[in-house]
Amino acid sequence: MEKRFTGLIAAVFTPMCEDGSLNLSQVRPIAEHLIRTQVSGMFVCGTTGEGPSLSSEERRATAAAYVEAAAGKLPVMVQVGHNSLAESRVLASDAQAIGADAISAIPPAYFKFEAIKTLVDCLVEISSAAPKLPLFYYHIPSVTGMDFDMVEFFRQASGRLPTLAGIKFSDSAIPKFQAAAEFENRRFDVLFGSDEMLLSGLCAGATGAVGSTYNFAGPLYRRLIDAFDRGDIDEARKYQALSVEMLRILFRYGIRPALKAVMKLIGLDCGPARLPLGKLTQDQLQAMKEELGAIGFFHWALV
């Protein structure tokens, strides 16, 4: 694969109007903000982007808007997983047609399965619809309920998936992450997906990370990475501690709606989360703003 995803990759939000309809006019300002804060890529229609709550038509429109807004300045990975493999194939084909840089896919999760071979079979179906795009398996066991051994996945998939580029590893199990990252002399890109444990991921060999809070706290994480790269672990740990405290606040307000609400606090209104996630009340939004202000968020997260 020609393009490797490295650095901070923002799992972008799908902006919506108050009635839950798409508000794609906000996509360009979001992309410009990410470019300005030196995020190095975008992950579209994943968990943060509420992909499972969107229709296929909405997902295609959202992906197209982000690819257009990126204008080649940021690589765009589109999440195309769906409970229907037929729909996944359509989404994958469309991602290739609009000029996305890669696709990612969760497996069909309604009918759960236990064999890695079945997972590979599903990914073969999906990737065949986008044969020119790198494929990243989206490993998120907390959502899918399927916690496969990623080393064994690589063993079985490497001979059957010619476009396999790696894994979006959304799990906090560092030993499992490291084992996958080291497979066959780091043959694949394993993107770390736990913002509050980024420092641990870096220590385990991560060179790229996908996360929700990179949308609005990219500068904090860039300082963390810079400190790590120069060997100042105490400084890196200080920045990671700020990330942990920030996320502790967001979890108190319901993590998914709270993440999206923070964008409004920094001047990029992405609207509410769609049901069943719900949204924060004005009182909750104000209280969260005050808590974030108390830990210096509006200073260290944005500059």
CA pair distance 178, 207, nearest whole angstrom: 12
CA pair distance 164, 129, nearest whole angstrom: 13
Q: Are 54 and 14 in contact (CB under 8 A)?
A: yes
Which pair of tokens denotes residue 209? 């990370």
Tokens 């709606």 belong to: 257
Eight-state DSSP code of residue 272: P
CA–centroid distance for 298 within its chain: 23
Tokens 């706290």 belong to: 217
Catalytic residue among 138, 221, 239, 253: 138
Q: Can 168 be counted among the known catalytic residues?
A: yes
Looking from the CA of 264 toward its CB, the CA atoms found within 13 Å total: 23
Local structure of 157: helix, strand or coil = helix
Catalytic residue among 66, 137, 168, 221: 168
Which pair of tokens denotes residue 54? 């969107």
Spell out a b/e string for 103-140, using b for 16 or more CB atoms within 10 Å of the CB, else e.
Answer: bbbbbbbeeeeeebebbbebbbbbbebbeebbbbbbbb
Q: Can 66 be counted among the known catalytic residues?
A: no
* Catalytic site positions: 138, 168
